[in-house]
Chain A
């Protein structure tokens, strides 16, 4: 009995394939909807996951081994002092603290004036961890910090504005009236990283000076923004907890709005949530096109049932039972949609590879997307093939044969 059923199944598959192949153009048009739907699902999901992977790896590159602290402090203590930095520096697992200050200045060289540019106060640790920021020259040294040296690094944009292409290294320029010696040129490469872009300060016209110099210029003793580098990333969360306790102590037990610790991995989590939602939404839209494709298959199968009324009647006269007829049409719808799904998967992956190449990101084959796309199209075939198959199985053999 089982062998007979298997034989029947085999015959059904064979008959379906014969029928599908006998009208290639119509088969193609029928499954076009499914092809487009699956291709869209797979192209979207793999491309989005490629982009996500790219962003994640950039985040990981920035976010591993460090975290940021933003300290607004209290009214009496609006930020961190050098002594506080030293306290934080002494914490277990901390290798260094990079400082960040920002203000707007106007730069001048000879008779050339710049627009308002960003002046960043940085320290040695910052350049130790961002070596690729320096295109030429050198970064800020410990000595520069200690001596409140009037030295700076300028961006290529600022160089173009003030020096018209001639080498500015060793030259001087004036920042808000203070004379600085140029010790390095900043690379533009680094402006491409996501965090810089996300924070909106990818302006090409900026300069970096020792943070101590910047503090003196703006007349402040407080630092509001730092990044803490850790030795062991595994223990980063412990270090974060320790940092929070230390900061709470510094700010007299207040931890309400006096400081914020920004952990990159938390940012990454929310980024993943966002891209996950985006993927789901895109897949949902593509799913609608799959649904439309399914209706196309149903329409085609209904036409097929009508066209093959005589065949169905004959098969019944020859001893086919209704469920065998139903199975035959269901298998045909299934094969059609899986065929469409497979072609769509190949197309979708090709589109995704092209898109990833165009966007210069690494293509990652997403098996999940393929299984989802092809699986869903198979399901669509079964669901939308069911009604026509049922209709075929219910056909009265006499009416069916008489219609011929």
Chain B
């Protein structure tokens, strides 16, 4: 496996305006990720880890510093280019799954493919393939409320995989799941990482974070390598 740099963050600062005050959420963060890495960002709530995820996922831009994703400086890109990156290169997985309740499993998985401009028949083919891939071949036309939490998260993973992204970005992916189901999801993450995808997982749970090959710790907006002794 080649170990080219996937992205690098240089001196990232993120400030939010809260009323009159500026709240510094990320304080001069530096981080380099190689292609095919499996990384956990570990931190308690309010530590700035969600902001990290938003910046990595091109959902937000830093106040200062440079974020270079595959040789592109994200700060220089416009809305259209950012949307294209989110669509084709990044697969998002959320704690609350974020499935649209009025759409069935297939349609939920098709959603990013719509924005990728893929034809209806092709979308269905890909969505079916992804649902089979996550073990839901027999649940394709179930609606989210007809699925268990673990099954919903697997639909969400299938959706994240639909556009065949190189980066999987997961925010507390097991937070809403019981331990056994969470473990299955982690196994799936390992498989996806073994396929060569870069996986970044954001969590406050050390036992979940330990599934990753590398752990960085974030506390009060300061990023450090390894596990700190915060809990």
Contacts and interface: CB of A to CB of B under 8 A. Distances in A.
A398 B61 CA distance: 11
B100 A311 contact: yes
A321 B80 contact: yes
Interface string B91-115: 0101010101011000000011011
B163 interface: yes
A324 B115 contact: yes
A2 to B, nearest CB: 11
Interface residues of A, number: 25
A387 interface: no
Contacts of A318: 86-87, 92, 111-112, 115, 159
Interface string B67-92: 00000000000011001101110001
The number of chain B residues touching the other chain, given as a range, is 20 to 34
Contacts of B83: 316, 319-321
Given A316-B83, A316-B86, A321-B79, A7 B112 contact: no
A250 B54 CA distance: 99
A7 B92 CA distance: 24
Nearest to A317: B92
B2 interface: no
B147 interface: no
B59 A404 contact: no
A310 B100 CA distance: 9
A229 to B, nearest CB: 73
Contacts of A321: 79-80, 83, 115
B59 A316 contact: yes
A397 interface: yes
B190 to A, nearest CB: 24
A398 B79 CA distance: 14
B117 interface: yes
Interface in A301-339: 310-311, 314-322, 324
Interface string B30-57: 0000000000000000000010001001
5 contacts: A8-B117, A321-B83, A321-B115, A397-B59, A402-B50
